[in-house]
Amino acid sequence: MNTQCIIDYLSELSMNNNREWYHANKEDYKKANEEFEKLLQALMLEIGKFDSSILHNNPKDLTFKIVRDTRFSHDKSPYNPAFRAHISSKGKLPVPVGYYLMIKPGNQSFLGGGLFADMFKDATAMIRDYIVQNGEEWEKIIHEPEFENYFSVQGTALKNVPAGYDKEHPQAEYLKFKSWYLEYPLKDEELINAETFSAKAAEIFRIMKPFNDYLNKALEGFQMPKR
CA gap 2, 160 in Å, rounded: 48
**Assigned domain for 83 exists:** yes
- Is a pLDDT exceeding 80 seen at residue 227? no
**Assigned domain for 108 exists:** yes
Structural contact between residues 168 and 132, judged by C-beta atoms closer than 8 angstroms: no
What was the pLDDT predicted at 186? 97
**Assigned domain for 225 exists:** no
Domain housing 48: 3-218
CA gap 125, 183 in Å, rounded: 22
152: how many CB neighbours lie within 10 A of its CB?
A: 9
**Assigned domain for 224 exists:** no
Find all residues with CB under 8 Å of 9, minimum gap 6, and list them.
25, 28, 29, 31, 32
The residues with which 83 forms a beta bridge, in sequence order, are: 103
Nearest partner of 40 among 72, 87, 74, 4, judged by Cα = 87
**Assigned domain for 30 exists:** yes
**Residue-wise pLDDT tens digits, 138-162:** 999 999 999 999 999 999 999 999 9
Q: Enter the pTM of the model.
A: 0.94
Structural contact between residues 127 and 134, judged by C-beta atoms closer than 8 angstroms: no
DSSP state of 18: S
**Residue-wise pLDDT tens digits, 68-78:** 887 877 888 99
Structural contact between residues 188 and 95, judged by C-beta atoms closer than 8 angstroms: no
Number of domain units in the chain: 1
**Residue-wise pLDDT tens digits, 2-47:** 999 999 999 999 999 999 999 999 999 999 999 999 999 999 999 9
**Assigned domain for 64 exists:** yes
Could you tell me which residue, 68 or 211, shows the higher pLDDT?
211
The residues with which 115 forms a beta bridge, in sequence order, are: 180
Is the peptide bond between 105 and the residue preceding it cis, with omega within 30 degrees of 0? no
What was the pLDDT predicted at 73? 79
**Assigned domain for 23 exists:** yes
Nearest partner of 141 among 113, 116, 121, judged by Cα = 113
**Assigned domain for 127 exists:** yes
Structural contact between residues 96 and 89, judged by C-beta atoms closer than 8 angstroms: yes
What was the pLDDT predicted at 70? 79
